[in-house]
Structure 1
Amino acid sequence: MLQKTMRWYGPQDGVSLRDIAQAGCTGVVTALHHIPVGEVWTEDEIRKRKHEVEAAGLNWQVVESLPVHEDIKKRSGNYQQWIDNYKTSLHNLGAQGIQVVTYNFMPVLDWLRTDLFYPTKTGSALRFEWDAFRAFDLFILKRPGVEKDYNEQQTAAAKAYFDHLSEDKKAALASSCMQGLPGSKEAFSRENILALLKEFEGIDEKTLQSHLFQFLNEITPALEQSGVKMAIHPDDPPFAVLGLPRIMSHADHIRAMLENTTSSHVGLCFCTGSYGARKENDLPKMFREFGSRVYFLHLRSTKRDPAGNFFEDDHLAGDADLYTIIKLAAELQHTENRSIPMRPDHGHQLSIDQHIDSFPGYSFVGRLKGLAEISGMEHAIYQQRAENGL
């Protein structure tokens, strides 16, 4: 069976460890968000968090995430020092029994949505809309050179969208698009983002890919010595935004990473929501090809429209075929004699969730609903396997 976990942002999270334990999870995925990006995670700090989790009757085997410093992505500034620090943190995590580190290699922003409270039949959800994003990019952020990224029709649609927004809705759009890092409720400023974007000028997809491969090959000895596996999260959304390169958005990107890194400790966080937001991605086919390198599962489902906009649908709805993914995961776990950690990713904010302080997409009852649906489906799949003698 999949190891059922839930993301926990630490002591500042409005969702408590007791809540997570009562939801039927066996563990949490968490991180030391109070430590600045790039600094070493000491064994004392890791041990303190681990004891806190275990005191609630849960385990901590997956870190989400140990952030990669922007200098590493650019291979500039103090990048070698940050890589050395990363290696030390990996050794310290391995010494405390942590098995998987989830991370991403997205420049500047870890994720991007244009609406954090999009109304659905079952509460509010995260949504990405192209006209809204282009309106933000063109008329709020006013990114230098932005005009060349959009054709005349796209720019006109964005202008019409922007002109119909009230001042409050313009502010809400800006706030949604400039959310900070996971575990932080502080949004970036326009000046912050423009300065960071400038630092990535001249870094294209091929260059960023090369920087990822070099980083992974440099930390491989630390991974193999510590026993820790790296699980890269896909780009979110899985297409180019703000003129930044994307290098983990589809099967060819995964293939390139695995071909250019030699260690089996380098693998994937298979996020069905992120990959599923891209129409070209065949999730079951991707899982069949790369399943042996999947070390962590994010299960959620996005719903696309013909224009390429998407929102977070119910876990068993949307465009992601979670039934087939869970079925393939069951087969893989049996074949390889291992259990894959999983968490229900994102959730609708239900009316009861409005009274619980939480991070966007991480409402407690909404995720609990998703976990229950996934657990029921998995139980039925295993029951069917047992009846078929598998």
Structure 2
Amino acid sequence: MEKTWRWFGKNDQIKLEMLRQIGVEGIVSALHDIPNGDVWSMESIDEYKQYIESFGLKWSVVESLAVSEDIKYGGEKRDHLISNYIQSLENLGKAGIKTVCYNFMPVLDWARTDLYFQWKDGSSSLFFDKAKFAYFEIHILERKGADSDYTSEILLAVEELKNRMTEKDNNDLIDSIIVKTQGFVNGNIKEGDQNPVAIFKSLLALYDGIGKDQLRQNMKYFLDKIMPVCEKYDIQMCVHPDDPPFSLLGLPRIVTNEEDIDWLMNAVTNSHNGLTFCTGSLSAGLQNDVPQLARKYAHRTKFVHLRSTNVFDNGDFIEAGHLEGRGKIIDVVRIFEKENPLLPMRIDHGRLLTDDIGKGYNPGYSFLGRMLALGQIDGVMATVQSELQRN
């Protein structure tokens, strides 16, 4: 597989020359300065592509040409925004950029409650604490009916949290869930916004009355509209599984398991409707056998994210080492190297190591932590390629 790396543009503390030196071949990036819903111009795409290529790298994958909320919930601006999306895809296609990773998660892109969960060795990683998330829903958002979504054990833990959470703790939790994990991804909320909770509540309100079936139909509507331009320029649209792969905030999530992926692939059978196979997102759901899903969907997979999780009995999960956990990455690499060896692959998330601290990296996107993981996976890929050549 092609070794790629998610890079957040010229302001990223990690520089392209650093990536070339550690064996990265392709860049996964986006025009982060263009607001969601606006057209990506040919000039902006060409300038960005040429800048990447000036370092001996290629712009392999767009992650992400974000799908606006109006498209997801079917708002009045939907058709206008889809028209803009099609124009951006056409411009990308003319520039020779053929793979676009996106998601269809309503409001909340990916969710964690702790961005720097400490390991015994002093490193840290992302963590999802179900009780903390429930506390956020019930006592910070004050979402009506939220308590009915949780078990009595979780609700008891929520009450214990209520008795000891300080104002600073609350602000840190808000920052972790709806600011720091979202601002650099989807732009709905960004650092410096006043009263992010109020903004978040207004976004949630847009989905009143939108259930799973309606969200599915909205996704099909979007994909049906964009498939002609994808066919014209051979652009592979690859949806990212929901992270985590279960409902949050009373919102439907529709890319969580085998049944969901089956529905999506059958609803839009065009081969340009594909999958970003994320071992991390899928492994956070106990319903998912990750290698089995990799085998089944190898032919519809257009891009691979490699990371892993450990899931606890109470529903909490933590980012595991890349050679550990439920992601079964070694097995998954064997499957994709055999079935689809030209896929772009990027290391997803990494621990924050000592010399990563204070460098201003986005949560989950450290340099040394991901470099360590890339080295591990590079070794796995070399071993698997050697096995395949012998057989």
TM-score range, shorter chain: over 0.9
Which of 371, 379, 389 is the aligned partner of 1:386?
Answer: 389
- Counterpart for residue 299 of structure 1: 306
Question: Is contact 1:38–1:86 with CA below 8 Å preserved after alignment?
Answer: yes
- Counterpart for residue 182 of structure 1: 184
Determine what percentage of the aligned residue pairs are the same residue. Answer: 39
Which of 324, 329, 346 is the aligned partner of 1:322?
Answer: 329
- Partners of 2:125 and 2:222 lie apart in 1 by 35
Question: Is contact 1:3–1:339 with CA below 8 Å preserved after alignment?
Answer: yes
The C-alpha deviation readout for 1:320-377, integer Å capped at 9, x for no partner, is 11111000011102xxxx5000000000000100142210000011000010000001
Question: Is contact 2:4–2:60 with CA below 8 Å preserved after alignment?
Answer: no
Q: Which segments of structure 1 move beyond 4 Å, counting only runs of 4 or more?
A: none
- Counterpart for residue 253 of structure 2: 246
The C-alpha deviation readout for 1:28-67, integer Å capped at 9, x for no partner, is 1000011010111011000010011001110002100000
Displacement of 1:381: 1.1
- Partners of 2:373 and 2:337 lie apart in 1 by 18
The residue correspondences of 1:185-334 to structure 2 (distance < 5 A) are 186=191, 189-333=196-340
Residue 369, structure 1, aligned to residue 372, structure 2: yes
The C-alpha deviation readout for 1:143-188, integer Å capped at 9, x for no partner, is 2332332344432221112322333322211211112243565277
The C-alpha deviation readout for 1:91-126, integer Å capped at 9, x for no partner, is 100111101000000011111100000011451100
- Counterpart for residue 61 of structure 2: 62
Gaps of 5+ in 1: none
Q: TM-score, normalised by structure 2?
A: 0.95
The C-alpha deviation readout for 1:284-316, integer Å capped at 9, x for no partner, is 111111111100000001111111110111111
Change (3 A) 1:21 1:216: same
- Partners of 1:236 and 1:353 lie apart in 2 by 24
Paired residue secondary structure (1:292): helix
Change (3 A) 1:260 1:131: same
Question: Is contact 1:109–1:181 with CA below 8 Å preserved after alignment?
Answer: no
Q: CA RMSD in A?
A: 1.4
- Partners of 1:21 and 1:158 lie apart in 2 by 46
Gaps of 5+ in 2: none
- Counterpart for residue 166 of structure 2: 166
User: What count of residue pairs does the alignment treat as equivalent?
Assistant: 383
- Partners of 2:210 and 2:365 lie apart in 1 by 32
Which of 358, 363, 386 is the aligned partner of 2:361?
Answer: 358
Paired residue secondary structure (2:88): helix
Paired residue secondary structure (2:237): strand
- Partners of 1:21 and 1:118 lie apart in 2 by 30
Change (3 A) 1:196 1:90: same
- Partners of 1:145 and 1:196 lie apart in 2 by 17
